[in-house]
Amino acid sequence: MCDLVVGYTVLSKSPDYRGATVDASFYALNFARQRLTAAVVVRLTREFTVRFDNAARIQADNLLRVTGGDEAVISSLGLSYRPAALPGAEFSIQADNLWNSAFQEVPAVPAAGRQLSVGAGYSW
């Protein structure tokens, strides 16, 4: 079984702040002009699921973003295991920022490098 989820967003806004001299902002001018997202979820078996998430974005110019440019493709890949013998238990491993992008999602804040996470959870 496989799920595919795709989304596309276009945003246009004017940086007209009625005379205020705003060259850059963490919030007001930090937005993607275009953003494409795609996720693929593959259930290999009843117990194993693989998830591949991607976001491609073209950011609005922001003087505070000093590295990584205004375009980025960021992906993550994860594997989860829900053992039938332990209902409610889930074990997972996930790699984030697969391509080790230097894109600053928050301007002037260094991007997180490639990361590997391991998790375990239980719900009742």
pLDDT of residue 109: 86
Residue with tokens 């009843």: 46
Condensed to tens digits (0 to 9), the pLDDT of residues 41-87 reads 999 999 999 999 999 999 888 777 888 888 999 999 999 999 999 99
Greater confidence (16 vs 33) lies with 33
Quote the CA–CA distance of 25 and 28 in Å, as a whole number: 6
pLDDT of residue 68: 84
pLDDT band for 5, please (50, 70, 90 cuts): very high
Condensed to tens digits (0 to 9), the pLDDT of residues 81-123 reads 999 999 999 999 999 999 999 998 888 888 899 999 999 999 9
pLDDT of residue 80: 98
| Mean confidence (pLDDT) of the chain | 90
pLDDT of residue 16: 66
Query: Minimal CA–CA distance to 42: which of 5, 89, 8?
Result: 5
pTM of structure: 0.81
Burial classification of residue 92, based on how many CB atoms lie within 10 Å of its CB (0-12 exposed, 13-18 middle, 19 or more buried): middle
Domain range summary for the chain, segments of one domain joined by +: 2-10+26-122
